[in-house]
Amino acid sequence: MKAVGRWEAVLAVLPEGCTLAVDANGRFTGEEAIAYGDALAAYPLHWYEEPTDPLDYAAIAKLAARYPGALATGENLMSFQDARNLARYGGLREDRDVLQMDPALSYGFTEFRHTLAALHEAGWSATRCVPHGGHQFNLAIAAATPLGGCESYPGIFAPFGGFADGYGIEDGYVRLPDAPGIGLELKAGLGKVLHELAA
C-alpha cells in the first residue's frame, strides 16, 4: 500500500506532542476502508477520519468492529435524524470515536442542540463531538457547550476559515474574541470581501 510510506514520513517529522489524523474524505467502499484500517492499525494515529460515506452505517459498523483506534465521521451529515441514526446503527464506540457534525451544514445551533440531546440519550458525551468546518461559528458553539473541540484550518478557505485576526493558536488552544459577534467581524480580509460584494 503506497500510502504507508507517506504516513511514516509524516510521523517521522511530527513535533513532540503532536499526533497524526488520516482523512479519507468518505471515498472508500466498506472493503477499502477496512483494508486501510488494517494498515493504519499499526500506527499511533489521533483518528482515522471519514473512511466511508457516513450514511453507510453497515460499512462503518464493520470497520468499527475491526479497527482498534479512534474513528471520526459525520461531517457530511445534514440533519439531526442522520446523526441520530449514525449513533444508533454505525457501530461507533462512545469511549474513543469522534462525531464531527457541522452545525453550519445541518440547520444551525438549534438543530445541533437536538443532535446533542439525541446523542446524550444514546450514551454519548458531548466531549466526543468535534465539529467539522474550521470556522468561527463552530468555535463559538464549542466554547458555549462542552464539546471536545472544533476542527480548524487557519490557512485554508480564506477569508472565511480560520480565527479572528490577532487570535492565534497557543498550545492547541485559541481564545475567543471579546468583541460582539462570532469572530467574523474581526477578520479584515473577510470585511473587505463583504464590502466589495455590497458595493
Cell numbers 513535533 label which residue? Answer: 15
Alpha-carbon gap, residue 110 to 88, rounded angstroms = 21
Q: Which residue has the higher pLDDT, 104 or 64?
A: 64
Q: Model pTM? A: 0.91
> Which DSSP string do the residues of 110-138 spell out, in sequence order?
HHHHHHHHHHHHTT--GGGB--SS-SHHH
Average pLDDT of the residues in 13-31:
94
Instruction: Report pLDDT for 158.
Output: 81
Model pLDDT for residues 148-178, shown as the tens digit of each residue: 999 887 777 888 888 888 888 888 888 888 8
Per-residue model confidence as pLDDT tens digits over 49-89: 999 999 999 999 999 999 999 999 999 999 999 999 999 99
At residue 67, the pLDDT reads 98
Q: Could you say which DSSP state residue 2 is in? A: T
- What Rg, from alpha-carbon coordinates, does the chain have? 18
In 78-193, where do the E strands start and end? 98-99
Residue type, 42: A
For 112-121, the pLDDT digits (tens) are 999 999 999 9
182: pLDDT confidence band, cut at 50, 70 and 90? Answer: confident
From residue 193, alpha-carbon distances to 98, 126, 187, 188, 199 in Å are: 34, 35, 10, 9, 10
Q: Apex CA 141: angle with CA 139 and CA 142, to 5°?
A: 65
Kind and range of the H or E run holding 86? helix 80-89
Residue (of 29, 93, 83) closest to 59 by Cα position: 29
Give the mean pLDDT of 26-38: 97
Read off the pLDDT band of 135 (50, 70, 90): confident
